[in-house]
Amino acid sequence: MRDSLGGPNSPMPLHDSNPYTERWRAIVARYLAGQQPVDSAAAELARALKDWRRALDANRPTTLGQLLQDQPNRDALYASGDYGSELSEADYRRLTDLMEALVRCMDVPEDGAA
């Protein structure tokens, strides 16, 4: 959360225009709609998360001036919004399955070697 001055305690908008969160939401939506199997959705979500992390690393501030500038996409993980009232118990169970599969995918190196 973010505070009223834009710090980390003020609420984030439910639907932001961050390209990473839009990509993540699309993957999860397809999975929850039954349009994508769990392993495929987890692998795609892992790639999207790794892309986001690489983008953060590539734009890492190297000076104090850069650090004090606004950092786009830094708050991507806070932008999920509150979907609690929109999800059924079955959706929560499916999301748990997706997150477990995602953890397994995140442990696989980029080249696919174990």
Rounded Cα gap, residues 82 and 47, in angstroms? 24
Q: Hey, what are 14's tokens?
A: 């439910």
Question: Does residue 93 lie within any of the structural domains?
Answer: yes
Rounded Cα gap, residues 61 and 21, in angstroms? 22
Taking only Cα atoms into account, the Rg of the chain, rounded to an integer number of angstroms, comes to 16
The structure's pTM equals 0.63
Question: Does residue 72 lie within any of the structural domains?
Answer: yes
Q: In angstroms, how far apart are the furthest CA atoms of the chain?
A: 47
Model confidence band, residue 48 (pLDDT cutoffs 50, 70, 90): very high
Question: Does residue 34 lie within any of the structural domains?
Answer: yes
Rounded Cα gap, residues 47 and 53, in angstroms? 10
pLDDT at residue 15, rounded to an integer: 46
Question: Does residue 28 lie within any of the structural domains?
Answer: yes
pLDDT digits (tens, 9 = 90+) for 52-62: 888 877 777 76
pLDDT at 1 over 60: no
Please indicate whether residue 19 or residue 93 has the higher confidence score (pLDDT).
93
Query: H helices of 3-112, where?
Result: 19-32, 38-58, 64-68, 89-106
Q: Hey, what are 55's tokens?
A: 């983008």
pLDDT at 104 over 50: yes
Question: Does residue 11 lie within any of the structural domains?
Answer: no
Question: Does residue 4 lie within any of the structural domains?
Answer: no
Question: Does residue 98 lie within any of the structural domains?
Answer: yes
Q: Hey, what are 20's tokens?
A: 């990473």
- Structural domain containing residue 70: 19-106
pLDDT at residue 100, rounded to an integer: 95
Question: Does residue 2 lie within any of the structural domains?
Answer: no
Average the pLDDT over each of 10-24, 33-47, 68-82, 90-104 and give the range with the smallest value. 68-82
The count of structural domains within the chain is: 1
